[in-house]
Structure formats: structure tokens, C-alpha cells
Amino acid sequence: MSRKSRKEKLEEARRVIRARKGVSAVYFILRFLVILTLVRQAMNRNYDNVLLCVLTLFLFTMPSIIERRLRIEFPDTMSVIILLFIFAGEILGEIGAYFTHFKGWDVMLHTANGFLCAAIGFSLVDMLDRNERFSLSLSPVFMAIVAFCFSMTIGTFWEFFEFSVDKLFMRDMQKDSVITAISSVALDPAGGNTHVIIKNIEDVILVADGRQISLGLGGYLDIGLGDTMNDLFANAAGAAVFSVIGYVYLKTRGRGKIARSFIPQVLGNEEPPRGSVENTEAPDGENEKSS
């Protein structure tokens, strides 16, 4: 890499920091906290968490990489929430065990994930709809539905990932939950399809390697299913909220302040967003006359 290109990149980075002071401040603070966590985990020889910290640092760079590659710009509000979301999930949730200590932590993150993914899906379709190379005219209802489905697809693939990791590496990403009642056809004495209901479960006895182990959990241990469904419901709630916001944004021709805080803007020679001031420019002929 030449000295000139390095200077240009350094100057560009400084320009971005000056223009987006809030995002830059959050980025450097969270990055500093992750590095401190990494050093602490390394001193404790907890190398799994060290790798998790390295992954977090890499994920922090993904928004800027996506912006450069796709020539888009995330709104500051969205950029900050993405950084906080990564930190809350990887550092606080996994290393800090917030998923275990705080009951609603996982639900909160999956709701936020559904909201953000719906915003991204909405933006992708909106950019395609405004691109001059495609003769599309999509209705607000259709775009809201696509945004919702895009978010749910991302959420479903994440649950596939968690299930695969649990099966292959026994990591318990799909957190178990304790329930006091079950209904199962596997308990039908006749071996048929009649479900048997067992209520008020107080304990479960495991037999492993010739030993009997009392779990002492005060109920039956549900392995991941409840967590997965709760995650998908939370994802659907977040996706539905943004889908409604996106619908209103299109119906009011881009006047929605909330939607603007989460919809990336296209850089370059792309057509400006619908309802924006740029769309009101005079035709070329009138500009020539005025000049």
C-alpha cells in the first residue's frame, strides 16, 4: 500500500469520526471495554471467552465494512443500537451471564434483532424499488410484508445455528427451561397416539452410568424448545413493529422520523429517498434556463 493511500485512508477515518462523533464515542468506549474483558479472560485462562471477545471486536467492524461495500450509510441511531446489541449479546449476555441472571435479557435482544433485521430487509427492498435499472412499483403493504418475512428468516436461521452448535459441541445455546407440566404421546401405555398429561412435576431422576441423579430443579427440564419458540415470538414482535413503522413511512412519503433513524441511505448517484427534498429539484431544462 502506498504512502498516499494510507494518508487518504487516515484522513477519511478522521473525517468520519468528526462527522459522527456520537457513533465514534460509543464505538471506542465499547471497544475499550471489550479489550479489558479480553485481557481479564486471558489472565484467567478462559480461552473460549477470549475468542468471544475477538469475535466481538470483529463484529464491531462489520457495519463500516457493509457501508463501504454496498455504498450505503447507516443512520447514527441504527449504528449505535447495532454496537450496543453486539456488546449486550456477546459480552454481557455470554461472558457476563446476563442470559442466566436476567430473565428478560434474551427476549429483549431477540425483539431488538427482529426490529433491526426488519429495518434492513425494508431498506434492501426500498433501494431496489428506487433503483432506475429496475422498473418496480411495490406497494407499502408488500414492502412491509417482505420486511417482516426477511426478519423472520434471519431469526429462524439463527435458531438453526444455535441448534446445530448445541448438537455438535454440546454448548447449550438454546437455554433449557424448567416446566412443571408435560403432555406427551410417548407416555401412552398402549403405544398409541393418545397424549398423557403429567402435572405438578416436582423432580426428575436421571439414570446415567449406573447412577441415579436427582436434578432438584423443582420441575421437568425442557431442552431448548421453549427458548426457541420464545425467541421466535420475540423476533416476530420486533419485526411486526418495524413493518408497521415502514408502512406508515411509505404512506406518508418518507416523513416518518422513526423510520428515517433506521433506514440506511444510498450513497453516490442513486435516486434520493421518496419524499425527500432532493426529489423536488427542477428539471434539467429549467436549470439550463436559469443558468
CA–CA gap between residue 13 and residue 86 (Å, rounded): 22
CA angle 193, 198, 202 (to 5 degrees): 150
CA–CA gap between residue 228 and residue 157 (Å, rounded): 11
Q: What is the pLDDT of residue 16?
A: 65
Q: How far is CA 106 from CA 5, 85, 136, 159, 245, in A?
A: 43, 11, 38, 13, 23
DSSP code per residue over 73-122: E--HHHHHHHHHHHIIIIIIIIIS-HHHH-TTHHHHHHHHHHHHHHHHHH
Q: How far is CA 235 from CA 77, 92, 215, 225, 267, in A?
A: 20, 20, 32, 15, 30
Residue 282 pairs in a beta bridge with none
Q: How far is CA 180 from CA 217, 225, 226, 235, in A?
A: 10, 15, 13, 26
Q: What is the pLDDT of residue 282?
A: 43
Strands (E), 211-260: 211-214, 220-222
pLDDT tens-digit readout, 208-224: 988 999 988 899 988 88
Judge contact between 278 and 265, C-beta under 8 A: no
Q: How far is CA 220 from CA 189, 194, 228, in A?
A: 20, 20, 17
CA–CA gap between residue 113 and residue 237 (Å, rounded): 10
pLDDT tens-digit readout, 118-152: 999 998 888 877 766 766 678 899 999 999 999 99
CA–CA gap between residue 36 and residue 91 (Å, rounded): 11
Global pTM value: 0.82
Averages of pLDDT over runs of 10 residues in the chain (291 residues) are 63 70 93 97 95 96 87 90 96 94 94 95 82 74 94 97 93 88 92 93 90 90 90 97 93 80 72 40 44 37
Q: How far is CA 264 from CA 113, 121, 126, 148, in A?
A: 16, 11, 10, 17
